Amino acid sequence: MAAPFIWQGRTDGDTEEHLRIHQVMNKNTPAQFALIGFASDEGVKRNKGRLGAKAGPDAIRQQLAGLPLHQPLAIRDAGTIYCDDGQLESAQRRLSDELITILSSKQTPIVLGGGHEVAFASFQGLFDFVKQTQPTKTIGIINFDAHFDLRSAPIATSGTPFLQAAQLCEQHNRPFHYLCLGIADHGNTKVLFDTADKLGCQYIRDKALTASQLPKAIEQVQQFINHVDYLYVTVDLDVFSAAIAPGVSAPAARGINTETFEQLFSVIKTSKKIAVFDIAECNPEFDIDNHTSKLAAYLIYQFLF
């Protein structure tokens, strides 16, 4: 287990107009947002991907620290859940329990991955919280991802989280609402498309997220949002082109660009239904000049402000 992250960075002054995120982290109470890391690439290892995402949380924190504030921010760092022993399921449960605690404190969790195995832990935490507090409310998953992550496997991996989420919903007789944005035909086998269709999942391919087709995609996203009470939004950084996000476990040959993401995410954020937000697959081992960790920090910045 690594030492706690030290929030530090450039300081231009201590008055309001000079502040950066590292200067207010853990300072303003009550916090509105809580960062929590999930340092794991056990799921990626099991899924035969490129290892290194375990170092993602602190790489993202490092890039987030120096970003400037243009309005007040109450945010705290809730630490990091580590998967050091190969016991992924146990680590996922620990993260879920921490998320329940954060949500119970009326704070919005921002989870820093880590492999996309973080997704089942994030969903499970929100699912259990809603079941305990508002059992009639519904949850929708919006996943920015080149891959469905609906694999069937004997153990949990970074490729199984949304099938696990579907199974959790089925066990408790709850509807499964899943929308995946950025799906790549060349990144998913036919059985994954068949599984998505069988489960009633919605998806929009990467090639359908061009500027001319974006209004139609936005309409579909809005309709999805209208039919649920809460949203769990997860961003697998491999949804972006490898030119933008080289430091991921499975780089995208095509992917989407940041402008497309911003327009879609603006609609989602405006709904005020996001209960849990996470970033997955930031892999510093393969990053170039911190491009991917900078992108991850930028996405969180879009959510905060």
Which pLDDT tens digit goes with each residue over 58-94? 999 999 999 999 999 999 999 999 999 999 999 999 9
- Residues 209 and 211: their CA atoms lie apart, in Å, by 7
pLDDT of residue 217: 98
pLDDT at site 231: 98
Q: Is 147 annotated as a binding residue?
A: yes
User: What percent of the chain has a predicted confidence (pLDDT) above 70?
Assistant: 100
Q: Mean pLDDT over residues 93-115, rounded?
A: 98
Q: What pLDDT is stored for residue 1 in this prediction?
A: 64
**What pLDDT is recorded for position 104?**
98
145 annotated ligand-binding residue? yes
Side chain identity, residue 224 = F
Q: What is the pTM assigned to this prediction?
A: 0.97
Please name the amino acid found at residue 23.
Q
* Burial class for 186, CB neighbours closer than 10 Å (0-12, 13-18, 19+): exposed
Average pLDDT, the chain: 97
Instruction: Please answer whether residues 44 and 51 qualify as being in contact, where contact means their C-beta atoms are separated by less than 8 angstroms.
Output: yes
* 77 known ligand binder: no
**How is residue 152 written in tokens?**
């069937």
Q: Is 298 a residue whose pLDDT tops 70?
A: yes
Query: pLDDT at position 187, please?
Result: 94
Q: Is 116 annotated as a binding residue?
A: yes
Task: Please tell me the distance from the alpha carbon of residue 232 to that of residue 178, in angstroms, as a whole number.
Answer: 10
* 172 carries a ligand binding annotation: no
Establish whether 186 is an annotated binding residue: no
pLDDT in tens, 247-272: 999 898 899 999 999 999 999 999 99
Do the Cβ atoms of 164 and 185 come closer than 8 Å? no
pLDDT single digits (tens) 183-238: 999 999 999 999 999 999 999 999 999 999 999 999 999 999 999 999 999 999 99
Rounded CA separation 245/247 (Å): 6
How does pLDDT run across 14-68, given as a tens digit for each residue?
A: 999 999 999 999 999 999 999 999 999 999 999 999 999 999 999 999 999 999 9
pLDDT score of 9: 95
CB hemisphere CA count around 212 (13 angstroms): 1
pLDDT tens by residue, 234-244: 999 999 999 99
SS (H, E, C) the chain: CCCCCCCCCCCCCCCHHHCEHHHHCCCCCCCCEEEEEEECCHHHHHCCCCCCHHHHHHHHHHHHHCCECCCCCCEEEEEEEECCCCCHHHHHHHHHHHHHHHHHCCCEEEEEECCCCHHHHHHHHHHHHHHHHCCCCCEEEEEECCCCCCCCCCCCCCCCHHHHHHHHHHHCCCCCEEEEEEECHHHCCHHHHHHHHHCCCEEEEHHHCCCCCHHHHHHHHHHHHHCCCEEEEEEEHHHEECCCCCCCCCCECCCECHHHHHHHHHHHHHCCCEEEEEEECCCHHHCCCCHHHHHHHHHHHHHHC
Name the residue among 116, 83, 114, 79 with its Cα closest to residue 99: 79
The alpha-carbon radius of gyration of the chain (Å, integer) is 18
Give the end-to-end CA distance of the chain in Å, rounded to a whole number: 32
User: What are the pLDDT digits (tens) for 132-152?
Assistant: 999 999 999 999 999 999 999
